[in-house]
Amino acid sequence: MRKKRYRRLDGTTGSAAIEIAVASLLFVIFVILAFDMLVVVWGYSVVDSAARDAARAAASTSNAAAGLQAAQQAALAHRTDGYFVSQPKVAATATDFIYVTPATGSPYVAVTTRADVRLPVPIQFFGAQLKDGLLPYARTYTFPILGVPFVPDPGSGAAPPPVVAPPAP
């Protein structure tokens, strides 16, 4: 007895192989995007927690020099792999470390930590490229300096406006 072979007349021969190939390609692209996003979120969370801890450490000191040293040590406590996410740093510049003890108002410290994130698979959209393949991150936290009393302005009774650092280039 012979088996009958049926021919498809609708032209769908091999369409399953094409669907699997396209689905596999899309799956690989989505996995790469997910891995890039994982590294980006990891870098942001490291910079964010380093800035928060650095500002807390600087706020617990009694002068600007000790505050800067405490902020830098607190930022160094957040270890990274050094390749995908660089070590968060607090620079001794007027934009990254602000220690304000005004005659009137509330004393505070503002600390900015910076780190670079390298994407595992940099994807270029519409010709846009990352400089050196690195994505720079910066995060600023402001904390009141502990142990220093608030002194209101004698004229209005209100606190003076805070000193805000311009963004670094």
What are the structural domain ranges in the chain?
Answer: 15-144
Instruction: Give yes or no for residue 169 having a pLDDT over 60.
Output: no
Instruction: Give yes or no for residue 73 having a pLDDT over 90.
Output: yes
pLDDT at residue 54, as a whole number: 95
What is the C-alpha to C-alpha distance for residues 19 and 31, in angstroms, rounded to an integer?
A: 18
95-130 pLDDT tens trace? 889 888 877 777 889 999 999 998 888 777 666 666
pLDDT at residue 89, as a whole number: 93
Nearest-10 Cα torsion for 56, 83, 32, 133: 100
Question: Averaged over 73-86, what is the pLDDT?
Answer: 91
Write down the pTM of the prediction.
0.74
Range list of H helices, 127-169: none
Choose between 146 and 30: higher pLDDT. Answer: 30
Q: Is 87 within 8 Å of 63 (Cβ atoms)? A: no
Of the candidates 96, 95, 50, the one whose C-alpha atom is nearest the C-alpha of residue 75 is 50
Q: Is 152 within 8 Å of 158 (Cβ atoms)? A: yes
Instruction: Give yes or no for residue 34 having a pLDDT over 80.
Output: yes
Instruction: Decide: helix, strand or coil at residue 135.
Output: strand
Percent residues over pLDDT 70 in the chain: 76
